[in-house]
Amino acid sequence: MQPITDFGARLPDSGGLRARGARDALESMVLALSALGVAPSTLRSATETVLDAWDNNAEAAERVSVDEVLVVSTAHLREDDREALDSGRLPDGLMVSMECEYGGLVHVDRDTLLDPSNGSGLVAAARMAADLGCAYVRFDGAGPVVEGLPVFEWT
């Protein structure tokens, strides 16, 4: 019989935040209920029900492709980052997917090593997106200022 703490291995890691979040939430629930004295057989039965539902939905998810998007403020763009975004001349591993008046959507090649050491907010946001398993980063004038990314004030 599978130990209760090993059930998370059955949840596939899609590389996305939702799969990791679901696995972490289920593990936290089991640990909390276990600490409250819920019988192991009850926990095992409940987690099997959840995992069966996950498996049923996983089949449908395999038929489509869903990519996560990191949304950040355009305040994270230097002026030269904005010019690169507007012109489409981005560093290797990045490609403009959509332009708009107040930002843009950039595709991030997760296999390309992006080095944000030159201070580029565009590259730093793309690196963060890749690290989070996102295929895109959307720069939006009304988007959130994200801790850990550089912020630039334009004149």
pLDDT tens per residue, range 81-140: 888 888 888 777 777 777 676 778 888 887 776 676 777 888 899 889 888 888 889 999
pLDDT at 72 (0 to 100): 93
Determine how β-strand 103-108 pairs with β-strand 136-140. antiparallel
The Cα–Cα gap between 72 and 125 comes to: 8
Average pLDDT value over all residues in the chain: 77
**Is pLDDT of 29 > 60?**
yes
Per-residue pLDDT tens digits for 44-62 = 888 888 777 766 666 665 6
pTM of the full predicted structure?
A: 0.59
pLDDT in tens, 72-92: 999 999 888 888 888 888 777
3-class secondary structure, 69: strand
- Residue 78 φ/ψ, nearest 5 degrees: -75, 170
d(CA 102, CA 86): 11
Q: Go through the chain and tell me how many residues it has.
A: 155
- Element (DSSP H or E) covering residue 85: helix 79-87
